[in-house]
Structures are given as C-alpha cells and as structure tokens.
C-alpha cells in the first residue's frame, strides 16, 4: 500500500522530529545535487529564502516520482548573512573562518518546507530564525573548535546549538524547529487542514 505521508530526507534530525510528533510516515532520501541546483540560483541573484524553497521543492519532486499517490514533504535550510549563503565548511580552517565572519553579527537560518502531491506543489512555507553571534576572538574560536572537533564540519554554520555551539550566541529569535531545519508548527497545521493527520 502506498504510504500517505513520505519525508523526502535522509536527515536523522528531520525524521526524529516527525516521529516524535507521532506521525506515521515513510522516509526516502532525495537524489538531488544541491550544489548544482544552488549555483545558477545564486548567480542569478536568488535570495537565500528562494534557494531554500527551490531545494525543498526539488527534493520533494524527486521523491514524489516514486510515490505518486502520497503527500511528500520536502525541506531544506539555508544559512545567510546578508546576501551571502553559507555551505558546510570543508575543513577546520574554513570552520574557523565561518565563525569569525559571523562574530558580532546576526545571521539568518531560512527553513523551507514544501508539500507535493501527484507531482504538484500544494503548499510551500519558509520560517526564518535570526541568530546573533557574540563577538568572538580568534583565540576563543580556535579553542572552541579544538573542543568540538569534527562535529563543526557537520553543520553549515560550524556550530551545533544543542551542544557547545550555544556558547557562541548572544540572542536567538525564532522557534527551535526552524533552527533544526523543519518548521513543524506550520507543517502540522497544514497537514491537519489537508486531512493528512488527525485534527
């Protein structure tokens, strides 16, 4: 039987968010080359919000081909400081450069979610969190990265808010789910409205 709800993601965090909310769903990783999709968008001047939406839609579309009857959830997140969109650091030197570029500034986490059914987008949404990093010295950044190690390379901002990364911040505006990369409250409201989950 075709599942009624499919998450187009390999992310254990997004899977856990849906499972913890009590949703019955199947998860299937989307086969999408994110960098190849992002490059022309960024070169054409697309905003970080538009990039997040385009990636979420591409992921949903890729998986929806395999589940034509299902409601497919695609999601993605961009991290931006002004027009600059960040990507996961390639090494510890780049992680340090990321953190120092964010020092004393407010950056945005733009979390997009798209619902697709029968090859058509039925809903799209973006939630943004504003993250203010306290002023950081190069010496502190070096010590911080030595403590957290390779985990710094696993996230686009080179920090994990649920771990020692919380020490980098002065202020955070936005909900926890947006920060994790899946705006759960608007998503659950839409799923209830569509009759996909118990209302």
Q: What are the pLDDT digits (tens) for 49-58?
A: 999 999 999 9
Q: Average pLDDT, whole number, for the chain?
A: 93
Domains of the chain: 5-193 (3.90.950.10)
Residue 76 has pLDDT above 50, yes or no: yes
Res 168: pLDDT:
97
Identify which has the larger pLDDT, 91 or 11: 91
For 97-158, give the DSSP string: HHHHHHTTSEEEEEEEEEEEETTEEEEEEEEEEEEEEPP--HHHHHHHHHHHGGGGGGSTTS
What distance in Å separates the CA atoms of residue 107 and residue 134, rounded to the nearest whole number?
11
Confirm whether 76 is a catalytic residue. Answer: yes
Q: How confident is the model at residue 3 (pLDDT cuts 50, 70, 90)?
A: low
**Percent of the chain residues topping a pLDDT of 70:** 98
**Which residues lie below 8 Å from residue 167, measured CB to CB, with a gap of 6+?**
144
Catalytic residue among 76, 91, 170, 175: 76
pTM for this structure?
0.90
Mean pLDDT of 144-162: 93
Residue 2 has pLDDT above 60, yes or no: no
């Amino acid at each position: 039987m075709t599942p009624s709800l499919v998450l187009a993601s390999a992310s254990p965090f997004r899977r856990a968010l849906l499972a913890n909310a009590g949703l019955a769903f199947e998860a299937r990783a989307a086969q999408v080359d994110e960098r190849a999709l992002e490059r022309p968008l960024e070169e054409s001047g697309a905003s970080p919000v538009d990039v997040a939406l385009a990636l979420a839609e591409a992921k949903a579309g890729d998986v929806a081909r395999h589940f034509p009857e299902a409601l497919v959830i695609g999601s993605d997140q961009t991290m931006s400081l002004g027009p600059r969109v960040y990507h996961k650091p390639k090494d510890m030197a780049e992680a340090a450069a990321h953190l120092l570029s964010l020092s004393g500034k407010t950056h945005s986490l733009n979390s997009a979610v798209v619902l697709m059914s029968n090859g058509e987008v039925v809903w799209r949404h973006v939630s943004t969190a504003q993250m203010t990093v306290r002023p950081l010295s190069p010496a502190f950044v070096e010590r911080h990265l030595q403590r957290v190690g390779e985990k710094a390379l696993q996230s686009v901002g080179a920090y994990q808010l649920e771990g020692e990364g919380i020490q980098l911040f002065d202020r955070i505006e936005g909900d926890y789910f947006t920060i994790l990369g899946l705006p759960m409250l608007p998503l659950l409201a839409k799923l209830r409205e569509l009759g996909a989950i118990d209302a």
